[in-house]
Structure 1
Protein backbone atom coordinates (compact mmCIF):
# COMPACT_ATOMS: atom_id res chain seq x y z
CA UNK A 1 0.00 0.00 0.00
CA UNK A 2 1.10 3.53 -0.65
CA UNK A 3 0.79 6.05 2.12
CA UNK A 4 0.86 9.81 2.11
CA UNK A 5 1.00 9.82 -1.68
CA UNK A 6 -2.60 10.04 -2.68
CA UNK A 7 -4.21 13.14 -4.08
CA UNK A 8 -7.82 14.04 -4.37
CA UNK A 9 -8.97 12.53 -7.60
CA UNK A 10 -11.42 13.64 -10.23
CA UNK A 11 -14.78 11.90 -10.24
CA UNK A 12 -13.73 9.74 -13.21
CA UNK A 13 -11.50 7.68 -10.89
CA UNK A 14 -13.72 5.15 -9.22
CA UNK A 15 -11.09 3.55 -7.00
CA UNK A 16 -11.87 3.78 -3.28
CA UNK A 17 -9.14 4.83 -0.91
CA UNK A 18 -6.97 1.82 0.04
CA UNK A 19 -6.54 0.95 3.69
CA UNK A 20 -3.42 2.60 5.04
CA UNK A 21 -3.62 5.70 2.86
CA UNK A 22 -3.45 8.65 5.19
CA UNK A 23 -3.69 11.67 2.91
CA UNK A 24 -7.43 11.44 2.17
CA UNK A 25 -10.37 10.30 4.31
CA UNK A 26 -11.31 6.62 4.19
CA UNK A 27 -13.78 5.90 1.38
CA UNK A 28 -12.87 8.97 -0.67
CA UNK A 29 -11.61 8.64 -4.21
CA UNK A 30 -7.91 7.93 -4.38
CA UNK A 31 -5.57 7.75 -7.34
CA UNK A 32 -3.74 4.63 -6.11
CA UNK A 33 -5.13 1.16 -5.90
CA UNK A 34 -2.86 -1.82 -5.50
CA UNK A 35 -3.18 -5.45 -6.46
CA UNK A 36 -1.52 -8.48 -4.88
CA UNK A 37 1.57 -7.79 -6.99
CA UNK A 38 1.68 -4.16 -5.97
CA UNK A 39 0.71 -2.79 -9.37
CA UNK A 40 -1.58 0.15 -9.77
CA UNK A 41 -4.93 -0.88 -11.23
CA UNK A 42 -7.76 1.33 -12.40
CA UNK A 43 -11.24 -0.07 -12.93
CA UNK A 44 -12.38 -0.74 -16.47
CA UNK A 45 -15.08 1.50 -17.91
CA UNK A 46 -18.58 0.05 -18.03
CA UNK A 47 -20.16 -1.00 -21.30
CA UNK A 48 -22.39 2.06 -21.05
CA UNK A 49 -19.28 4.26 -20.86
CA UNK A 50 -17.77 2.47 -23.87
CA UNK A 51 -20.91 2.95 -25.97
CA UNK A 52 -21.11 6.59 -24.87
CA UNK A 53 -17.49 7.05 -26.01
CA UNK A 54 -18.32 5.41 -29.36
CA UNK A 55 -21.25 7.79 -29.84
CA UNK A 56 -19.11 10.77 -28.83
CA UNK A 57 -16.29 9.87 -31.24
CA UNK A 58 -18.79 9.18 -34.02
CA UNK A 59 -20.41 12.59 -33.58
CA UNK A 60 -17.02 14.35 -33.46
CA UNK A 61 -15.49 12.69 -36.52
CA UNK A 62 -18.56 11.82 -38.56
CA UNK A 63 -17.55 8.15 -38.88
CA UNK A 64 -17.21 5.12 -36.66
CA UNK A 65 -14.07 5.22 -34.49
CA UNK A 66 -11.21 2.76 -34.68
CA UNK A 67 -10.53 0.48 -31.75
CA UNK A 68 -7.31 2.38 -31.05
CA UNK A 69 -9.09 5.74 -30.96
CA UNK A 70 -11.75 4.34 -28.66
CA UNK A 71 -9.19 2.80 -26.31
CA UNK A 72 -7.25 6.07 -26.21
CA UNK A 73 -10.43 8.01 -25.42
CA UNK A 74 -11.16 5.66 -22.54
CA UNK A 75 -7.60 5.87 -21.21
CA UNK A 76 -6.80 2.22 -21.88
CA UNK A 77 -4.07 0.51 -23.84
CA UNK A 78 -5.20 -0.94 -27.16
CA UNK A 79 -4.41 -4.50 -26.03
CA UNK A 80 -6.25 -4.06 -22.72
CA UNK A 81 -9.32 -2.79 -24.56
CA UNK A 82 -9.23 -5.67 -27.06
CA UNK A 83 -8.77 -8.24 -24.29
CA UNK A 84 -11.67 -6.97 -22.17
CA UNK A 85 -14.13 -5.92 -24.87
CA UNK A 86 -13.72 -8.41 -27.78
CA UNK A 87 -17.39 -8.19 -28.74
CA UNK A 88 -17.25 -4.41 -29.11
CA UNK A 89 -14.04 -4.74 -31.19
CA UNK A 90 -15.83 -7.23 -33.45
CA UNK A 91 -18.78 -4.84 -33.82
CA UNK A 92 -16.50 -1.96 -34.79
CA UNK A 93 -14.61 -4.15 -37.27
CA UNK A 94 -17.85 -5.38 -38.86
CA UNK A 95 -19.19 -1.85 -39.19
CA UNK A 96 -15.94 -0.67 -40.78
CA UNK A 97 -16.04 -3.48 -43.37
CA UNK A 98 -19.58 -2.85 -44.58
CA UNK A 99 -20.29 0.56 -46.11
CA UNK A 100 -23.50 2.01 -44.73
CA UNK A 101 -26.51 2.03 -47.03
CA UNK A 102 -24.73 0.31 -49.92
CA UNK A 103 -26.38 -2.63 -51.63
CA UNK A 104 -25.03 -5.00 -54.25
CA UNK A 105 -27.17 -3.29 -56.92
CA UNK A 106 -25.72 0.11 -55.98
CA UNK A 107 -22.18 -1.26 -56.12
CA UNK A 108 -22.83 -2.84 -59.53
CA UNK A 109 -24.27 0.37 -60.99
CA UNK A 110 -21.30 2.32 -59.60
CA UNK A 111 -18.88 -0.09 -61.27
CA UNK A 112 -20.78 0.20 -64.56
CA UNK A 113 -20.70 3.99 -64.43
CA UNK A 114 -16.96 4.00 -63.66
CA UNK A 115 -16.27 1.59 -66.54
CA UNK A 116 -18.24 3.76 -68.99
CA UNK A 117 -16.34 6.86 -67.86
CA UNK A 118 -12.99 5.10 -68.20
CA UNK A 119 -13.86 3.89 -71.71
CA UNK A 120 -14.78 7.45 -72.76
CA UNK A 121 -11.55 8.80 -71.30
CA UNK A 122 -9.57 6.08 -73.05
CA UNK A 123 -11.23 6.86 -76.40
CA UNK A 124 -10.52 10.59 -76.00
CA UNK A 125 -6.89 9.94 -75.10
CA UNK A 126 -6.46 7.62 -78.09
CA UNK A 127 -7.79 10.36 -80.41
CA UNK A 128 -5.41 12.90 -78.86
CA UNK A 129 -2.51 10.48 -79.28
CA UNK A 130 -3.33 10.01 -82.98
CA UNK A 131 -3.42 13.80 -83.47
CA UNK A 132 -0.08 14.16 -81.71
CA UNK A 133 1.48 11.46 -83.91
CA UNK A 134 0.22 13.16 -87.08
CA UNK A 135 1.53 16.53 -85.92
CA UNK A 136 4.93 15.03 -85.10
CA UNK A 137 5.14 13.35 -88.51
CA UNK A 138 4.42 16.69 -90.19
CA UNK A 139 7.18 18.34 -88.16
CA UNK A 140 9.61 15.52 -88.94
CA UNK A 141 8.61 15.59 -92.61
CA UNK A 142 9.29 19.34 -92.82
CA UNK A 143 12.64 18.86 -91.07
CA UNK A 144 13.65 16.09 -93.48
CA UNK A 145 12.70 18.18 -96.49
CA UNK A 146 14.69 21.15 -95.23
CA UNK A 147 17.70 18.87 -94.60
CA UNK A 148 17.52 17.53 -98.16
CA UNK A 149 17.35 21.05 -99.60
CA UNK A 150 20.35 22.10 -97.55
CA UNK A 151 22.55 19.34 -99.03
Structure 2
Protein backbone atom coordinates (compact mmCIF):
# COMPACT_ATOMS: atom_id res chain seq x y z
CA UNK A 1 0.00 0.00 0.00
CA UNK A 2 1.34 3.34 -0.99
CA UNK A 3 -0.69 6.29 0.16
CA UNK A 4 0.45 9.82 0.54
CA UNK A 5 -1.30 12.95 1.66
CA UNK A 6 0.60 16.21 1.66
CA UNK A 7 -0.72 19.34 3.29
CA UNK A 8 0.88 22.75 3.33
CA UNK A 9 0.63 24.83 6.48
CA UNK A 10 -2.79 26.30 5.87
CA UNK A 11 -4.97 23.99 3.86
CA UNK A 12 -7.71 24.77 1.35
CA UNK A 13 -9.28 24.16 -1.96
CA UNK A 14 -11.95 25.28 -4.30
CA UNK A 15 -12.81 21.64 -4.19
CA UNK A 16 -11.65 19.22 -1.59
CA UNK A 17 -11.15 15.72 -2.72
CA UNK A 18 -11.34 12.01 -2.91
CA UNK A 19 -9.86 9.56 -5.30
CA UNK A 20 -10.82 6.29 -6.60
CA UNK A 21 -10.20 2.72 -7.20
CA UNK A 22 -8.36 0.88 -9.84
CA UNK A 23 -9.10 -1.33 -12.77
CA UNK A 24 -7.49 -2.47 -15.96
CA UNK A 25 -8.13 -0.63 -19.21
CA UNK A 26 -11.69 -0.61 -20.47
CA UNK A 27 -13.19 -0.17 -23.89
CA UNK A 28 -14.06 3.40 -24.83
CA UNK A 29 -17.30 4.50 -23.22
CA UNK A 30 -18.59 8.08 -23.40
CA UNK A 31 -20.47 8.49 -20.12
CA UNK A 32 -22.11 11.68 -18.92
CA UNK A 33 -20.50 15.10 -18.57
CA UNK A 34 -22.19 18.04 -16.87
CA UNK A 35 -20.77 21.45 -16.06
CA UNK A 36 -22.60 24.24 -14.26
CA UNK A 37 -21.32 27.70 -13.35
CA UNK A 38 -23.43 30.20 -11.42
CA UNK A 39 -22.13 33.74 -11.01
CA UNK A 40 -18.58 32.42 -11.25
CA UNK A 41 -15.43 33.80 -12.82
CA UNK A 42 -13.63 30.86 -14.39
CA UNK A 43 -13.90 27.76 -16.50
CA UNK A 44 -15.66 24.46 -15.99
CA UNK A 45 -14.02 21.64 -17.93
CA UNK A 46 -14.80 17.92 -18.03
CA UNK A 47 -12.70 15.48 -20.06
CA UNK A 48 -13.19 11.72 -20.35
CA UNK A 49 -11.09 9.23 -22.31
CA UNK A 50 -12.28 5.66 -22.41
CA UNK A 51 -14.27 6.39 -19.25
CA UNK A 52 -17.63 4.92 -18.24
CA UNK A 53 -19.52 6.80 -15.57
CA UNK A 54 -20.69 10.25 -14.61
CA UNK A 55 -18.69 13.46 -14.49
CA UNK A 56 -20.26 16.43 -12.76
CA UNK A 57 -18.90 19.87 -11.94
CA UNK A 58 -20.69 22.62 -10.07
CA UNK A 59 -19.22 26.03 -9.29
CA UNK A 60 -21.23 28.63 -7.38
CA UNK A 61 -19.72 32.08 -6.87
CA UNK A 62 -16.31 30.60 -7.65
CA UNK A 63 -13.33 32.41 -9.12
CA UNK A 64 -11.00 29.91 -10.75
CA UNK A 65 -10.86 26.76 -12.78
CA UNK A 66 -12.21 23.27 -12.20
CA UNK A 67 -10.86 20.40 -14.26
CA UNK A 68 -11.81 16.74 -14.27
CA UNK A 69 -9.91 14.19 -16.36
CA UNK A 70 -10.57 10.46 -16.50
CA UNK A 71 -8.66 7.83 -18.47
CA UNK A 72 -9.90 4.25 -18.66
CA UNK A 73 -12.01 4.84 -15.57
CA UNK A 74 -15.29 3.42 -14.34
CA UNK A 75 -17.13 5.30 -11.62
CA UNK A 76 -18.38 8.69 -10.59
CA UNK A 77 -16.46 11.95 -10.41
CA UNK A 78 -17.92 14.95 -8.62
CA UNK A 79 -16.40 18.35 -7.92
CA UNK A 80 -18.26 21.04 -6.01
CA UNK A 81 -16.93 24.49 -5.24
CA UNK A 82 -18.76 27.18 -3.29
CA UNK A 83 -17.34 30.68 -2.91
CA UNK A 84 -13.93 29.32 -3.77
CA UNK A 85 -10.93 31.12 -5.21
CA UNK A 86 -8.43 28.83 -6.84
CA UNK A 87 -8.07 25.72 -8.91
CA UNK A 88 -9.44 22.21 -8.48
CA UNK A 89 -7.92 19.34 -10.44
CA UNK A 90 -8.87 15.67 -10.52
CA UNK A 91 -6.91 13.05 -12.45
CA UNK A 92 -7.64 9.32 -12.58
CA UNK A 93 -5.78 6.73 -14.64
CA UNK A 94 -7.14 3.21 -14.89
CA UNK A 95 -9.39 3.90 -11.93
CA UNK A 96 -12.64 2.26 -10.91
CA UNK A 97 -14.58 3.70 -7.99
CA UNK A 98 -15.74 7.05 -6.69
CA UNK A 99 -14.08 10.45 -6.53
CA UNK A 100 -15.69 13.16 -4.46
CA UNK A 101 -14.46 16.69 -3.81
CA UNK A 102 -16.16 19.36 -1.74
CA UNK A 103 -14.90 22.70 -0.49
CA UNK A 104 -16.64 25.66 1.09
CA UNK A 105 -15.03 29.07 1.15
CA UNK A 106 -11.65 27.68 0.22
CA UNK A 107 -8.77 29.79 -1.06
CA UNK A 108 -6.03 27.84 -2.76
CA UNK A 109 -5.39 24.82 -4.93
CA UNK A 110 -6.55 21.23 -4.69
CA UNK A 111 -4.88 18.42 -6.62
CA UNK A 112 -5.99 14.81 -6.66
CA UNK A 113 -4.02 12.02 -8.39
CA UNK A 114 -4.83 8.32 -8.49
CA UNK A 115 -2.93 5.72 -10.52
CA UNK A 116 -3.90 2.06 -10.50
CA UNK A 117 -5.25 2.25 -6.94
CA UNK A 118 -7.91 0.24 -5.15
CA UNK A 119 -9.89 2.15 -2.58
CA UNK A 120 -11.42 5.51 -1.84
CA UNK A 121 -9.76 8.81 -1.05
CA UNK A 122 -11.73 11.53 0.64
CA UNK A 123 -10.54 15.02 1.55
CA UNK A 124 -12.72 17.85 2.79
CA UNK A 125 -11.79 21.41 3.65
CA UNK A 126 -13.94 24.17 5.10
CA UNK A 127 -12.83 27.78 5.29
CA UNK A 128 -9.18 27.01 4.69
CA UNK A 129 -6.32 28.74 2.93
CA UNK A 130 -3.38 27.04 1.27
CA UNK A 131 -2.69 24.04 -0.90
CA UNK A 132 -3.75 20.42 -0.69
CA UNK A 133 -2.39 17.40 -2.55
CA UNK A 134 -3.27 13.73 -2.22
CA UNK A 135 -1.81 10.93 -4.31
CA UNK A 136 -2.19 7.17 -4.54
CA UNK A 137 0.04 4.90 -6.64
CA UNK A 138 -0.71 1.20 -6.84
CA UNK A 139 -2.35 1.15 -3.42
CA UNK A 140 -5.39 -0.51 -1.95
CA UNK A 141 -7.31 0.75 1.04
CA UNK A 142 -8.82 4.00 2.22
CA UNK A 143 -7.35 7.40 2.98
CA UNK A 144 -9.39 10.14 4.60
CA UNK A 145 -8.25 13.69 5.34
CA UNK A 146 -10.54 16.32 6.83
CA UNK A 147 -9.57 19.84 7.77
CA UNK A 148 -11.80 22.50 9.27
CA UNK A 149 -10.63 26.06 9.62
CA UNK A 150 -7.00 26.92 8.99
TM-score range, shorter chain: under 0.3
The structure where strand makes up a greater share of residues is 2
How high is the TM-score relative to the length of structure 2? 0.20
Greater relative contact order, per chain length (Cα 8 Å cut-off, separation 6+): 2
How high is the TM-score relative to the length of structure 1? 0.20
The structure where helix makes up a greater share of residues is 1
Structure 1 or 2, whichever has the larger Rg, is: 1
